[in-house]
């Protein structure tokens, strides 16, 4: 990603009064449904080539919390829904452990189409797709973000720091407090990370419950 490209884009948005666009339509779910249909044929980056289904995101359009993962995997590409494969099943359990249902939150990813063989999405792909996420945040206006994994964290906070660095502090994205934890797929690969992930979730839960 060109240095600071994301930051520059966000500055531009701040000054462009883009929120006006959503004034006419008061129902957030309707807006998201229309935008889903509009973007589902996107060809802005090479990931469209492997797309079976565009995975925009799903959940409560009025959610207090938005969860942001990395990219759709195989099952997501087939179903058009985020986090429905093995990692998604673990995510559901993680949510239940902090007293949340999937339907309470909104879940999406940095990129909306599956990278071939589940490789990490590249910088140009992330930059091409990020406006969709920014727009989802503008519509839903969550009060807290949970960022799942290093790729999503490095993208949103525009750095190359470690997961540990990201987990150690509270961040902000578009003015919204953002907490970083392990990606559930990483927890499936290495269960030693489950205890520290549980700590992250408890911190997140405490903040979330203050906001409701
Ligand atoms: N991993 C992700 O980051 N997102 C999904 O939607 C599924 C798996
Ligand atoms: Fe478009 Fe995003 Fe899919 Fe790339 S990943 S084709 S930018 S929707």
pLDDT single digits (tens) 117-173: 999 999 999 999 999 999 999 999 999 999 999 999 999 999 999 999 999 999 999
Q: Which domains, ranges and CATH numbers included, belong to the chain?
A: 2-211 (3.40.470.10)
Report which bound ligand comes closest to the CA of 79.
1
Counting from 1 in the atom list of ligand 1, the atom nearest the Cα of 109 is: 4
CA distance 200 to 152: 16
Ligand 1 pocket at CB < 6 A: 69-73, 76, 82-83, 85, 87-88, 109, 185
With beta carbons less than 8 A apart as the criterion, state whether 170 and 178 touch: yes
Lowest mean pLDDT of 16-20, 88-92, 197-201, name the range: 16-20
Counting from 1 in the atom list of ligand 2, the atom nearest the Cα of 42 is: 1
65: Cβ–Cβ under 8 A, 6 or more apart, which residues? 100, 104, 105, 106, 142, 143, 144, 145, 146, 208
d(CA 57, ligand 1 centre) in Å:
10
Q: Which two tokens stand for residue 32?
A: 């998201």
Stretch (H or E) spanning 173:
strand 171-173
What does the pLDDT read at residue 181? 98
User: For residue range 63-100, what is the model confidence (pLDDT) as tens digits?
Assistant: 999 999 999 999 999 999 999 999 999 999 999 999 99
Q: Identify the CA nearest to 148 among candidates 199, 117, 185, 105.
A: 185
Q: How far is CA 28 from CA 64, 77, 137, in A?
A: 13, 24, 11
CA distance 190 to 92: 18
CA distance 103 to 147: 18
pLDDT classification of 25: cutoffs 50, 70, 90: low
User: For residue range 163-196, what is the model confidence (pLDDT) as tens digits?
Assistant: 999 999 999 999 999 999 999 999 999 999 999 9
pTM: 0.92
Stretch (H or E) spanning 200:
helix 194-211
Q: What residues does 107 pair with on adjacent strands?
A: 58, 67
- Asked if the model's pLDDT at residue 3 lies above 70, the reply is no
Tell me how far the alpha carbon of residue 62 is from its chain's centroid: 15
CA distance 125 to 100: 31
Q: Which two tokens stand for residue 131?
A: 């406006």
d(CA 99, ligand 2 centre) in Å:
33
Residue nearest (by alpha carbon) to ligand 2 atom 4 = 45
Share of the chain above pLDDT 90, in %: 87
Q: What residues does 180 pair with on adjacent strands?
A: 147
């Amino acid at each position: 990603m060109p240095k600071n490209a994301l930051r520059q884009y966000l500055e531009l948005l701040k000054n462009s009064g883009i929120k006006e666009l959503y004034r006419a339509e008061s129902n957030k779910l309707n807006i998201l449904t229309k935008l889903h249909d509009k973007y589902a044929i996107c060809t802005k980056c090479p990931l469209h080539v492997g797309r079976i289904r565009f995975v925009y995101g799903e959940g409560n359009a009025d959610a207090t919390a938005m969860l942001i993962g990395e990219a759709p995997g195989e099952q997501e590409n087939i179903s058009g829904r985020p986090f429905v494969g093995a990692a998604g099943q673990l995510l559901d359990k993680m949510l239940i452990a902090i007293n949340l249902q999937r339907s309470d939150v909104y879940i999406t990813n940095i990129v909306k189409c599956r990278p071939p063989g589940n490789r990490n999405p590249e910088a140009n792909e992330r930059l091409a797709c990020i406006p969709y996420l920014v727009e989802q945040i503008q519509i839903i206006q969550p009060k807290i973000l949970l960022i799942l994994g290093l790729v999503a964290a490095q993208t949103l906070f525009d750095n190359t720091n470690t997961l540990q660095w990201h987990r150690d502090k509270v961040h902000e994205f578009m003015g919204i407090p953002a907490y970083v934890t392990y990606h559930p797929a990483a927890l499936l690969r290495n269960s030693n990370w489950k205890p520290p992930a549980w700590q992250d979730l408890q911190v997140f839960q405490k903040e979330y419950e203050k906001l409701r």
